[in-house]
Structure 1
């Protein structure tokens, strides 16, 4: 016999039985055994609302969100909260993906049920993602050595795995654990293990370090980074303290890491501003880390299911078969990442030193692109900020030598200065 709370949940979920839901969203939640149709329906409708909202306030400008759309988004925020409450009452804690949760919390403060809503200046366009869950069950604890349990906090999720952070009681440091979702097939499990083995092999300052694989639950431990590149730049983009020099150092760290991967005969194949992480040491130093090697191609590997299967966040339109992936195809994605690092914008274009580099990365004709990461490093190293007269007078006393040599020559780490 169902409890009153279970009856309430069943009644709440009944309305999703007949809801029209796009098949692609249903696929995202096909492995969930808790309200998969509710998750898919809410996710699909939220993406539609947020995509339209992005058009109303482009590039952080003040805008106006239509009255009907304002009411719909307000209703969806309420619907998400009702679902969370109903599931919590039957012992199921859920998490909303941080990017969505932050947007919904902020929107609830300025949305109006009538006459439309003024979008506040500085609004950051939402990166909607129909291919990875925005809702999932919350895992709250992890058993560590000695039988102790530590608190887990969700920090991210993809189509096949979730990432939590926790504090290791033995050393007092924060670590991350990446774990496969229940119900993944053997092929994805093998790909996940291959990702770990490749990252374990790639020992380099700008590659995320992994530590231990747990075969029993399909998870591995890795170093914890404070944010994605997207989060780091977005939060500081309008601050003068995120200087050109800081952006340049961050860009070079990213490029050094990718050059190392290519030098080992591998290609990442899924580069994006969310797959590049930032580890913040102090307000004056950060370290860039490449992560998410689930689609990486090892030298000589033929792991891709078919010759025509194309995956990845930013696909090169010139690529016909994933099997044929080469350095120039990673370089296509590099262009968009450099654009974001230097401008905070995801759309390429403009007239500047950076724009010229970006244009050569994303040229529709691969033969006209940079042909290696080392070429891009050389171009980025030449970027210089305009020097004013007063700066020129004091340049000799203000400049400080950089310790160590160029990374691409020595393999030494250079920690990027972070803005205050």
Structure 2
């Protein structure tokens, strides 16, 4: 349904153009877009906009006291084309045709909308400066493509997952001959969400450990960053392979998860969103998969005051009833132990439901009395290993 609505929006925009205005003069600038109608739309918008800007440059006030007017026809056309650009951007958001408007031109668009009128001409503000004309630079850039700075090559992004705040894509970099992932915030996120997103990147980049997903570069304009690509989630891997996963592999996976969390704790960080989906796996030849802990959007720095009061409780495996009483801002290691115990039980058994589970380490790690929970990750690791070994020894005749 969404795909049909997106294509309908493109067709409607195309049909609204007067056919004598339609041009492919700048179509080559928009070859990254795989929809030919959209290429023509951008080419036409580009042509109309820079034509209007050229004429506006000729009409700019010479002095602060000098008033100059922009002609009625050009005012109407430019206003219409700017509004079309913003509307189309909104309608194609989060689709395979999502695009960005060049930052410089976006600021000019916003400035122009403040004084452009649909009739009678428009008075040009005295502070309006000469506009740089993009004769060979695209005004609109694809958000489903990425141009890497090292080679200036453009690669197609493929959506991996979509959340309430952003999307994750993958692409194949021909220079490095491997896949990378790209995480991008949605456009309508607020400043606080952007700050957390930025902090998530900084934390991932700072921690250099094989069990933590690595982040590489941040693009503030596009609200996105490039990171290491992992092949699958812990959830998918165990769901698919559970019957054939060996005792040693389960112990190996669980131990890696605990090592990754240990690194975070040693760095003064609580993850707060440990789940089957946020633990990723990178697969190699002839060795067990390597755990990559990801998604640091809810992290809490023990010494930081960034976590505000009345923070909404999140995290699919967290103990909601306890956190509702104490507040998410007071999340502690005993709460991390709760979620970890549930993940490790899944690693050991392939089961997500913990109701009536007969598992000593799970019972201790999720005990309602937090004083009875594990005080250290090493203690939890030992009991996890003992439980896995007991399962396989029971199976052995």
TM range (shorter): 0.5 to 0.7
Map of 1:410 onto structure 2: none
1:361 and 2:365 correspond: yes
d(CA) in 2 for partners of 1:382, 1:169:
45
* 1:148/1:158 CA distance change after superposition, 3 Å: same
Query: 1:381: Cα distance to partner?
Result: 3.4
CA distance in 2, matches of 1:217, 1:346: 37
Match of 2:238 in 1: 233
What aligned pairs does 1:205-224 form with structure 2 within 5 A after superposition? 205-224=210-229
Distance 1:318 1:218, change over 3 A: same
Residues 1:387 and 1:234: Cα distance change in structure 2 (over 3 Å)? closer
Pick aligned residue for 2:187 from 182, 194, 200: 182
* Runs of 5+ unmatched residues, structure 2: 1-6, 14-87, 97-141
Q: Quick one: higher RCO (CA 8 Å, sep 6+), 1 or 2?
A: 1
Quick one: which of 252, 270, 287 aligns to 2:255?
252
- Alignment correspondent of 1:266: 269
Distance in 2 between the 1:307 and 1:144 partners?
40
Aligned mate of 1:197, from 184, 202, 206? 202
Q: How far off its partner does 1:332 sit?
A: 0.8
Q: How many residues align?
A: 264
Partner Cα separation in structure 2 for residue 289 and residue 167 of structure 1 = 19
Let me know the Cα RMSD of the aligned residues: 2.8
The CA distance in 1 between the partners of 2:10 and 2:352, in whole Å, is: 46
SS state of the match for residue 278, structure 1? strand
Cα pair distance change 1:344/1:6, threshold 3 Å:
same
Q: 2:341 aligns with which of 319, 335, 338?
A: 335
* Residue of structure 2 equivalent to 1:382: 386
For the residues of structure 1 that align with 2:192 and 2:277, how far apart are their CA atoms? 24
The alpha carbon displacement at 1:377 in A equals 1.5
Segments of structure 1 that go 5 or more residues without pairing to the other structure are 11-86, 96-137, 392-420
CA 1:390–1:177: 2 relative to 1, 3 Å: closer
Deviations along 1:5-55, one digit per CA (max 9) or x if unpaired, are 459999xxxxxxxxxxxxxxxxxxxxxxxxxxxxxxxxxxxxxxxxxxxxx
What pairs with 1:103-182 in structure 2 (closer than 5 Å)? 139-145=143-149, 146-182=151-187
What are the within-5 Å matches in structure 2 for residues 299-310 of structure 1? Answer: 299-307=302-310, 309-310=312-313
Equivalent in the alignment of 2:376? 372
Give TM-score, length-normalised by structure 1.
0.58
Q: Is the 8 A contact 1:213 1:221 kept in 2?
A: yes
Task: Report the Cα distance in structure 1 between the residues aligned to 2:269 and 2:203, rounded to whole angstroms.
Answer: 9
- Evaluate the alpha carbon distance shift between residue 356 and residue 244 of structure 1 in structure 2; reply closer, same or farther with a 3 A threshold: same
Kindly indicate whether the alpha-carbon contact (under 8 Å) linking 1:327 and 1:372 is maintained by their aligned counterparts in 2.
no
Matched residue, 1:318: 322
1 CA distance for matches of 2:224 and 2:312? 26
Displaced runs of 4+ in structure 1, greater than 4 A?
Answer: 4-10, 90-95, 349-352, 385-391
Contact 2:252 2:288 in 1 (8 A): no
Considering only CA atoms, is the larger Rg found in Structure 1 or Structure 2? 2
Instruction: Judge conservation of contact 1:349–1:359 (CA < 8 Å) in 2.
Output: no
The 3 A distance-change label for structure 1 pair 388 and 6 is closer
Deviation at 1:378? 2.3
1:140, distance to aligned residue in structure 2 (A): 3.1
- Would the alpha carbon gap of residues 8 and 233 (structure 1) be closer, same or farther in structure 2, given more than 3 Å must change? same
Q: CA deviation at 1:361?
A: 1.0
Q: In the alignment, does 2:282 pair up with 1:279?
A: yes
Please say if residues 344 and 384 of structure 2, whose CA atoms lie closer than 8 Å, have aligned partners that are also in contact.
no
Kindly state the Cα deviation for residue 258 of structure 1 after the two structures are TM-superposed.
0.7
SS in 1 for 2:188: coil
Whole-angstrom CA distance in 2 between matches of 1:230 and 1:271? 12
SS in 1 for 2:226: strand
In structure 2, relative to structure 1, the CA distance for the partners of 1:151 and 1:367 (3 Å cut) is same
Instruction: Name the TM-score, length of structure 2 as normaliser.
Output: 0.61
- Whether the 8 Å CA contact 1:302–1:323 is kept in 2: the answer is no
User: 1:161-194 deviations in whole A, cap 9, x for unaligned?
Assistant: 1111111121111110111111111110000001
